[in-house]
Each structure stands twice: as C-alpha cells, then as structure tokens.
Amino acid sequence: MCGIVGYTGIQNAAPVLLEGLRKLEYRGYDSAGMAVVQDGRIAVSKVTGRIAGLVEKTEDGRLLPGTTGVGHTRWATHGAPTEPNAHPHTSNDGRFAVVHNGIIENYMELREELTRKGYHFESETDTEVVVHLVEMYYKGNLKQAVMRTSARLQGSYALGIVCADEPGKIFAVREASPLILGIGIGENYFASDVTALVAYTRNAIYLEDGEFAELTPDGIQVYDCAGRPIQKKISRITWDIQAAEKGGYDHFMLKEIMEQPRAVKATMAPRIKGSDIVLDDVDIDLKQINKIVITACGSAYYAGCAAKYAIEKLCRIPVLTELASELRYSDPLIDGHTLLIVLSQSGETADTIAAMRECKSRGAKTLAVVNVVGSTIAKTADWCLYTWAGPEIAVATTKGYTTQLTVLYLFALYAARKLETIDDAAYRKLLTSLKALPKLLQQALDMNPNITQLAKKYHCAYSMFFIGRNTDYAVALEGALKMKEISYIHAESYAAGELKHGTIALIHEGQPVIALCCNDSITEKTMSNIVEVKARGAEVLAVAFKDNQKIVSLADDMIFIPKVNTLFSAAVEIVPLQILAYHVAKENGCDIDKPKNLAKSVTVE
Ligand code: M6R
C-alpha cells in the first residue's frame, strides 16, 4: 500500500518524481525515496517521514540530476519505517534499483535462496528480493531479467525497475496492484494512480495483471507475461489538475466534504433520464436473484449497511452485509441466484477483491460500485457502476461514502421498478426525493455553523458513543469511524436498543453520546435511550430534523439536518458528523489528511 512513480524523458527526473510523489503521498507516508540514473550509475536518496523531507534532502531534486528515475512513498508492511527499509532498493552491485507497491508473498524462501547464493540484504523488506533477482538474472538484457524475475514472484506487485547499464529505460510490471502508464511527447511516465500523471498528460494506458511495459523517452511498449508485444488502448484521463489540489482549503478532507453536493449530483444526474433510471450497461436478470450480499471494508462497508434498508424495503429481497475480510474465509452460502454488490472507493482493497473472487467462483453475479476508473474491482466485476466523485485524496473517505450511497439508492429504486415491488406513484415520489439529495447535502453543509463551537466543547473527550436505530445506527457506525480515524478519540457505535444490554455501564458524568434521531419511524425509541443515558450523566449531542422540538428539549446540544426521506437520510445525516470529526481533529492538532498508521488504499490483507 504505497505509491510508485517513474519518469523517463528530457527533463531532470527528480522534480517530476517529487511532484508525483506529493500526489501519491496519501497512499502511504512513513518514508520515501527516489533513484535516478545518472552518468552510468544510479543515485539514490531516501528519508523517513514525509515527501517534504525528501524535497529538502535533495534540494527540490537538484542533487539528483538525470533524466530517468523512479520514486516511492511507503506505508510499511515488512520492516519498520526506517531509511534502509525505504524504497528504492538497490542491487549489491548498485546497477539496479526497484520500487514496489504490494506484497511479495514468497519473499522468505527467495531471500534464503539469494542469501545462499551470496546476495547481501540491507533491509527487512519483502521487496529487496526483487532487485537481487533482477541482478542475478541480468545477462545484458533488462527485459529478459525482468521477465525471469516476475516469474519467480508470488503475491501482488506493481514494480518500477531501472538499470544503470540501460539508461533512459524503465520497466514497469503489474500483478494485482494498480499501475498506469502516462504518455507524453519525448517523455513517458508510470504511477500508481492518475493523480500523479494528470499534471503532465491526459493520455494513459491501464496495464492489466501479468503485463509489463518498457518505457523510454520515445515510446512505451507493453508486453504480455511471455514477452510478446501487445497493443493497448489509450484512455483519456478526465480528472482535472484542480481536482487533485486543495483549492484553497486547509485540508483535502474539508474540500472533499464540501464537494459532496456536486459529487452526488455528478453520480446521479447522468443516470436519471426523465422518469427512468438508466444504470449504464447493467443488465442483471433481477427476477433470478433471491439474495443480495453487499461486501466491502471500512466506510464502504458502512455505506452498504445504510443502503441495505433501502434495498430491502423497496425490492423485498433479503440483503446481507458482510465485511469482505470475513466473507472471504466464511465458506459463504452463495450461488448463481446471489447478487454480490461490491463497494470500494479505490477499487483496489485486497480483502474486497478476494471476497469478490471467492463469491464469483461460487457463481455469484457481481456488481461493483467503484470510484477509481479501471481499478481491479471495476474490471473483475460483471457490471460496474462508477461513483463520479473525482479523486478522493484524504485518507478519511467522505464523498466516496456519500456517492456510494447515491449509487445504491439509485439501484434500489431501479431494481424495485424492474421487480414491480413498488407502484408507479411511489416510484415517482421516491425519485423526486432522491433527486433532491444534492440540494439537501448543501443545506446540511450550510445549516450548522455551530459545529466549530461543538468541537471546542467535545475535543477533550476520552471516548464517545454514537447511538441510533435502523438507518440511524448505520450512520452511527460511519460517524464513529470518522471520529476515531482522524481525531484519535475512541468512538463506539451502538444500536441504541443494545445500550442497556451492557454498554450503559460505561456511561458516566460528562460522557459524550452522539444520538442520531433522523428516522421518524423510530425516533421516539431513541429518545427514550437519550433519557436513559442523560439520567446517568451523559452529555448528549443529538442530530435531528430541524422541526424536532422534542429532542431540543432533551439534548444538551443539537445538530440539525434538513428533512429527508428516511430511506435516503444516511447520505445527508453523515455530513455534519464528518464536519464534527474534522473540527475535533483540528482542535486536537491531528494530521487530518494523513492520520497516523493509515493509508488510503489497503492493498494488503
Ligand atoms: O477503497 P475502499 O473503499 O475499498 O476502502 C475501504 C476502506 O479501507 C475505507 O473506507 C476506510 O475505512 C476509510 N479510511 C474510512 O474513512
């Protein structure tokens, strides 16, 4: 779960690599490094910590002259974030350098073999075996050495490889880790994602698993795993440069929170034609489906938990939500009548990919809801519905979550109409409610200027409870995750009715409880739970519709959201909780866009 980037061309490579690494830093940020081929040798610079340290150490890249190079930003898996463990790794003879994103699963046996043959290891990483294999297999032809090396590797890897004896040339290899080639004029690039390329080119080639590419300033040649040249389609990158910049906001997270009305609109509008919902090329035979399983990790899983209510209510099909990391090992009861919905912002989450493959092998039909175009999950599924959220850079997802919900709501309504489980009048009414979401999200953003004050009150909390029922409970799950991942405050979500089965023992004088009360059918019940925790000294911050006066009289503090149909309320209700988490984290001086120990995309199990 790292970012890799490569450049070969006419300019000095290091500044280009640094710029690319800045864009990829969200993928991992505990150490970084670059290797540049210069005058028949390879010069390497590495730092622990952020890209800013590498910029400083190399004086903006000036200390590493040379027009071909590779760079890396790391999220440590094998070995601590130290300089020796930082990439690029170099061969013992110093003639080769390698950057890697992924995991080499058989590295222990390869390391033993290479050690026996006299290769000396300087790091604890799995990656270092790659560079020694390349050195071992190099007989004057880098392509052959790369192929022989790849054939020895098991696991997931995107690799960038340079050789001092073949200046101007980079090999980029892909197996189960994202890798995109950027086509320039007299210069070419590769990167883990398009955000690192978009400042330089809009023409890209998406490598498939098992393919590798030879980049020189004059061109790119892609090969299959047997080394046969293949022709690849050139895709246009549609994300613009501004989308990958902060645009005046202090943090990407805040920018992305604010972008939600637009992102939801972009996701929804092209799919509503008059009174019809048109879901791209999705042609699932819904009448053959007797069960829907939603699988994902983290916030994407919580989006599934929230949307489950809408799908079940409208389609009358049982919906199970399963954590991908559990589903893959659960011997799941899945067959050809199961529709598996796979949610993933990045499209590269390892557990989600594995769960999808497991279910596919059992016959499930698979529908992916993904943000990153061309990602593994998008390509592996039978059908894919993209969330047109644009790049999400902050590690904590916000617009990724709300656009996933949007797609699932569209799907629920579309499927209900196909299955004839709702009548025309209900369909039209719900479609109108759905179309209002962008406007309601904007209101939710605008109507709570008091959240900065609330953050000042609550930021010292040792822990927080998020409670709710039904759809409110699903939002509590995501609200608590947002709070803990960026503010480092312990936060627990509870189905409000469960409190008195144990957890209420933890309520004491001053304990913050965030009570979600936006599901009309069950708000009275949650209000009883508010009374119970207040009786034990809790400080209650309630989230409710503007007109809910009863809650105002019960709670210590209020956050309001505009009135929204309960089936779709999660998308609106989460917004103030994102803002609250953001301001609490800011009060606590946390690194909001890059929380400790995390990375944006979890490409390891
Ligand atoms: O890229 P994905 O949507 O598959 O990522 C899944 C989770 O890793 C992700 O949602 C994670 O929980 C976020 N950091 C939460 O903000």
Rg (CA), the chain: 25
Domain that residue 483 falls in: 444-592
- Looking at the 3D structure of the chain, how many domains does it have? 3
Closest C-alpha to 344, from 279, 408, 434: 408
Q: Can you spell out the DSSP letters for 338-379?
A: EEEEEEESSS--HHHHHHHHHHHHTT-EEEEEESSTT-HHHH
Burial label, 426 (beta-carbon count in 10 A; 0-12, 13-18, 19+): middle
Over residues 485-501, the pLDDT tens digits come to: 999 999 999 999 998 89
Q: Is residue 243 part of a domain?
A: no
124 and 202 together in one domain: yes
Q: Is residue 600 part of a domain?
A: no
Q: How far is the CA of 60 from the centre of ligand 1 (A)?
A: 32
276 and 414 together in one domain: yes
Residue 327 structure tokens: 């589903």
Is the minimum distance from the CB of 387 to ligand 1 under 6 angstroms? no
Q: Which of 397, 481, 593, 596 to mutate to test the pocket of ligand 1 (most atoms within 8 A of CB)?
A: 397
Is the minimum distance from the CB of 396 to ligand 1 under 6 angstroms? yes
Q: Is residue 602 part of a domain?
A: no
Catalytic residue among 46, 365, 482, 600: 600
Over residues 264-289, the pLDDT tens digits come to: 999 999 999 999 999 988 999 999 99
Q: How far is the CA of 382 from the centre of ligand 1 (A)?
A: 22
Q: How far is the CA of 479 from the centre of ligand 1 (A)?
A: 14
Q: Is residue 345 part of a domain?
A: yes
232 and 288 together in one domain: no
Tell me the CATH number at 218.
3.60.20.10
Output the residue whose Cα is nearest ligand 1's atom 14.
396
7 and 99 together in one domain: yes
334 and 384 together in one domain: yes
Q: What is the pTM of this model?
A: 0.84
Catalytic residue among 2, 305, 384, 518: 2
Over residues 536-563, the pLDDT tens digits come to: 999 999 999 988 888 999 999 999 999 9
Per-residue pLDDT, 279: 94
Is the minimum distance from the CB of 304 to ligand 1 under 6 angstroms? no
Q: Is residue 603 part of a domain?
A: no
Is the minimum distance from the CB of 346 to ligand 1 under 6 angstroms? yes
Percent of the chain at pLDDT exceeding 90 = 86
- From residue 58, how far is each of 18, 89, 147, 393 by CA, in Å? 10, 17, 32, 25
536 and 428 together in one domain: no
149 and 265 together in one domain: no
Over residues 63-97, the pLDDT tens digits come to: 999 999 999 999 888 888 899 999 999 999 999 99
258 and 383 together in one domain: yes
Which range among 96-100, 112-116, 173-177, 597-601 shows the weakest confidence by mean pLDDT? 597-601
Over residues 289-347, the pLDDT tens digits come to: 999 999 999 999 999 999 999 999 999 999 999 999 999 899 999 999 999 999 999 99
Which range among 14-18, 171-175, 181-185, 593-597 shows the weakest confidence by mean pLDDT? 593-597
Q: Which of 256, 323, 346 to mutate to test the pocket of ligand 1 (most atoms within 8 A of CB)?
A: 346
144 and 115 Cβ atoms separated by less than 8 Å: no
Q: Which of 418, 435, 452 is the last residue of a domain?
A: 435
Q: Is residue 483 part of a domain?
A: yes
Q: Which residues contact 549 (CB under 8 A, 6 or more apart)?
A: none
Per-residue pLDDT, 162: 98
Tell me the CATH number at 357.
3.40.50.10490
Q: How far is the CA of 5 from the centre of ligand 1 (A)?
A: 23
182 and 271 together in one domain: no
Per-residue pLDDT, 605: 72
More confident of the two residues 309 and 522: 309
Q: Which of 345, 403, 603 to mutate to test the pocket of ligand 1 (most atoms within 8 A of CB)?
A: 345
Is the minimum distance from the CB of 372 to ligand 1 under 6 angstroms? no
Percent of the chain at pLDDT exceeding 70 = 100
Is the minimum distance from the CB of 604 to ligand 1 under 6 angstroms? no
Q: Which of 183, 217, 237 is the last residue of a domain?
A: 237
328 and 358 Cβ atoms separated by less than 8 Å: yes
Sign for the pseudo-dihedral over CA of 23, 27, 32, 37: negative
| Residue 463: strand, helix, or coil | strand
Per-residue pLDDT, 26: 85
Q: Is residue 178 part of a domain?
A: yes
Bridge-based pairing state of the strands 3-8 and 188-191: antiparallel
Average pLDDT, rounded, for the chain:
94
What's the pLDDT band for 416 if we cut at 50, 70, 90?
A: very high
Residue 469 structure tokens: 């029922």
Q: How far is the CA of 523 from the centre of ligand 1 (A)?
A: 29
Q: Can you spell out the DSSP letters for 570-605?
A: HHHHHHHHHHHHHHHHHHTT--SSS-TT--S-----
Q: Which of 305, 349, 577 to mutate to test the pocket of ligand 1 (most atoms within 8 A of CB)?
A: 349
What is the spatial distance between Cα 172 and Cα 382, in angstroms, rounded to a whole number? 28
Output the residue whose Cα is nearest ligand 1's atom 9.
298
385 and 461 together in one domain: no
210 and 131 together in one domain: yes
Phi, psi of 234 (to 5 degrees): -95, 125
Query: What are the residues facing 400 on neighbouring strands?
Result: none
Q: How far is the CA of 297 from the centre of ligand 1 (A)?
A: 6
Is the minimum distance from the CB of 397 to ligand 1 under 6 angstroms? yes
Would residue 600 show up in a list of annotated catalytic residues for this protein?
Answer: yes
Stretch 201-205: mean pLDDT: 95
Is the minimum distance from the CB of 603 to ligand 1 under 6 angstroms? no
**Relative to the CA of 400, which ligand 1 atom is closest?**
3
Q: Is residue 605 part of a domain?
A: no
What is the spatial distance between Cα 525 and Cα 521, in angstroms, rounded to a whole number? 9
Q: How far is the CA of 319 from the centre of ligand 1 (A)?
A: 21
468 and 365 together in one domain: no
> ∠ at Cα 603 (296, 228), nearest 5°?
115
Residue 303 structure tokens: 């989006």
Is the minimum distance from the CB of 298 to ligand 1 under 6 angstroms? yes
Is the minimum distance from the CB of 12 to ligand 1 under 6 angstroms? no
Q: Which of 414, 435, 456 is the last residue of a domain?
A: 435
Is the minimum distance from the CB of 177 to ligand 1 under 6 angstroms? no
Is the minimum distance from the CB of 377 to ligand 1 under 6 angstroms? no
